[in-house]
Structure 1
Amino acid sequence: MSALTNVALPITKATITVRVIKSFEYRTERSLVLHELDLQKTTVGELKNIAKQAVKSGPGWKAYRNVDLDTLKLYTKAHGAKTSNLIINLDHDDWILGDESKTLAEVGLENETEVSFFNREAYEKYRLNPEIRWDVSG
């Protein structure tokens, strides 16, 4: 019997996917995969800084550099239920990782967890009117 992927690696060498969201309405997001992250030592604040630095300096992130990324929220854990909303789960505000001093393990992250990284003000605006838009200029 094979082990579940969320426990296949120790929490000191976890792989986490950060879904960097540019636009909720247009469903614009790009995934940043982080390998060998120590969930027992890395804090929520440090994860934000790691992701911000990757967006700031990494190739292919230019379109995301003008977004004020300030909030992390759990999207899904490996083998867990996924939301029907393809850009972000609008329920479970308790999944917002608000305490930047807590370690990722303390807030429940495991190997192969996905978290969303976005602008909180844009998120709150989208929650009030969660409609999808399409670019018809094309």
Structure 2
Amino acid sequence: MSSSGAVVTVRLVRSFEHRNFKPVVFQGVSLDQTVQDFIQMVKDDITTRPGLPPPFRKHGYDTMKIVHQAHGAKTNELVMSLDGDEELILRDALTLKAAGVANETEVAFFRREDYGVFKANPKTVW
């Protein structure tokens, strides 16, 4: 990893049922910042990011979960795995590094309430 920071891909998940998400790449991310600070930075960025449709800009995201680590196995789930919440959901007070985020990590950013509803009844609409 270069001294300029990590590359972190954030999947903005609007709907688990409809598999509606949009990946956004953030470069130069400091892994020493808290999860809470990173969440605020992402929220601030997506409100003005060119090319991002308005529904993704205004969604009430509040939770992040690790989807994939560089050089690791990927899940077969299209949006994200429903397993491993205890280890993979990022806790606000931790730094990104302490939470398990490294260079080229992919995280999902979603509304916790929507995730709970989908996890209780994981059916997709297509």
- 1:48 corresponds to 2:39: yes
Aligned-partner Cα distance in 2 for 1:122–1:11 = 37
Change (3 A) 1:13 1:66: closer
Aligned-partner Cα distance in 2 for 1:11–1:45 = 22
TM-score normalized by structure 2? 0.91
Identity %: 37
TM-score normalized by structure 1? 0.84
Matched with 1:130 is 122
User: Residue 74 of structure 2: which of 77, 82, 103 is its match?
Assistant: 82
Secondary structure at 1:127 match in 2: helix
Look up the equivalent residue of 1:20 and give its one-letter code: L
- 1:114 corresponds to 2:106: yes
Shift of 1:12: 5.5
Aligned-partner Cα distance in 2 for 1:10–1:109 = 15
- 1:63 corresponds to 2:55: yes
Matched with 1:97 is 90
Matched with 1:32 is 24
Shift of 1:11: 6.8
Change (3 A) 1:123 1:11: farther
Look up the equivalent residue of 2:48 and give its one-letter code: S
Structure 2 unaligned blocks of 5 or more: none
Aligned-partner Cα distance in 1 for 2:14–2:3 = 29
Aligned residue pairs, count: 124
Offset from partner CA, 1:7-43 (integer Å, 9 cap, x none)? xx14751100011101101111111101011112x21
Offset from partner CA, 1:82-132 (integer Å, 9 cap, x none)? 11111011000111112x121111111111000100000000000111111
Structure 1 unaligned blocks of 5 or more: 1-8
Higher Rg: 1
Aligned-partner Cα distance in 2 for 1:70–1:51 = 11
Aligned-partner Cα distance in 2 for 1:55–1:130 = 27
Q: Which runs of 4+ in 1 moved over 6 A?
A: none
